[in-house]
Amino acid sequence: MGRGESVAAYVMSPITQMLPAITAVAVLGVIVAGWLQRGEEYLVPESGPGYWLGIGGSMAMLSLLVYSLRKRYRAARIIGSVRFWFRTHMLLGIAGPVLVLFHTNFKLGPMNSNVALFAMLLVACSGIVGKYIYGKIHMGLYGHKARVEEILAQADELKRELGEELKAAEFVSRELNAFSNEIKGKTPTTAIGSLWFGAIIAVRARALRHHLIAEARRLIRIEGKARGWSWWQRRQGLRKITQIVRLYSAAVIKAAELGFYERLFALWHVLHLPLFFLMVGTGIIHVWAVHHY
């Protein structure tokens, strides 16, 4: 695996990092605008566009199940990649509820409709939490499932890139080796153990990162002075070391936290599905009721 591919798995590009925040601001903006306009009754759920928004939103939420289908059946691969359908799932999982909010014109109705509404909002929020946990146990944004050995092997690979030509690099490499050796083979087997282990390693890796970068800066300054390096040469040396230390600690943290997030994700699945079924059930009763009473 090339370095670009493996390393990108831990550190996202700035745009990718910003995407959730941008989406959140846009979606909240649209919702607040709709909420402020609700008194005007541009939309009513009984008829016209308001009615169709209910149908459109429900269709959007039903179509996000195509992801489950695609994920489970390889034969369905003619309809596109799992990654594409996962992305579509998230998009429709946000767009669907927004359309339905506009369908209700931000007003509550009979009990059953309200249960459908709250179940829907809960499923969508739970989906966002799920995506966060999902990101912790996969490589990159839509990559394959992460494995501890694989991540640690890549972290070791990074250390090799440090080279030995600088004193600072040599020092950093030694410290990272010591850290790796200490945590190797210590993956706990119980849920509480993995939570504790993940938390301790995360804190220690962050402290190590801070310490190594500060120390590398000091060593480079001394070595640079002794060898008459220019400011630019010192900067380049430090940049390389800093980047590798950051990636290394990100990889180690990811490996340490993996066990905990895997358990959390399994738990999340157990909570997410009943909410989904509650929404579908009450949604069907709602559609039946509004046309019969």
The contact set with ligand HEM (CB under 6 A) reads 45-46, 51, 54-55, 57-58, 61, 64, 68, 71, 89-90, 93-94, 96-97, 100, 103-105, 107-109, 113-114, 116-117, 120, 123-124, 127-128, 130-131, 134, 272, 276, 283, 286-287, 290
State which residue, 128 or 183, has the beta carbon closest to ligand HEM.
Answer: 128
State which residue, 6 or 105, has the beta carbon closest to ligand HEM.
Answer: 105
Q: How far is the CB of 51 from ligand HEM (least distance, A)?
A: 6
State which residue, 7 or 116, has the beta carbon closest to ligand HEM.
Answer: 116
Nearest to 177 by CA among 203, 202, 213, 208: 208
Q: How far is the CB of 192 from ligand HEM (least distance, A)?
A: 24
Q: How far is the CB of 111 from ligand HEM (least distance, A)?
A: 10
State which residue, 95 or 183, has the beta carbon closest to ligand HEM.
Answer: 95
State which residue, 28 or 203, has the beta carbon closest to ligand HEM.
Answer: 28
- Provide the total of helices (H) and of strands (E) in the chain, helices listed first: 10, 0
Residue with tokens 């429900």: 58
- The total of other beta-carbon atoms located within 10 Å of residue 112's CB is 16
Q: How far is the CB of 292 from ligand HEM (least distance, A)?
A: 11
**189 DSSP assignment:** S
3-state secondary structure of 44: strand
128: exposed, middle or buried (Cβ count in 10 Å: 0-12, 13-18, 19+): middle
State which residue, 68 or 233, has the beta carbon closest to ligand HEM.
Answer: 68
Q: Per the structure block, which two tokens stand in for 81?
A: 């990649």
Q: How far is the CB of 227 from ligand HEM (least distance, A)?
A: 52
Q: How far is the CB of 197 from ligand HEM (least distance, A)?
A: 24
3-state secondary structure of 251: helix
225: exposed, middle or buried (Cβ count in 10 Å: 0-12, 13-18, 19+): exposed
141: exposed, middle or buried (Cβ count in 10 Å: 0-12, 13-18, 19+): middle
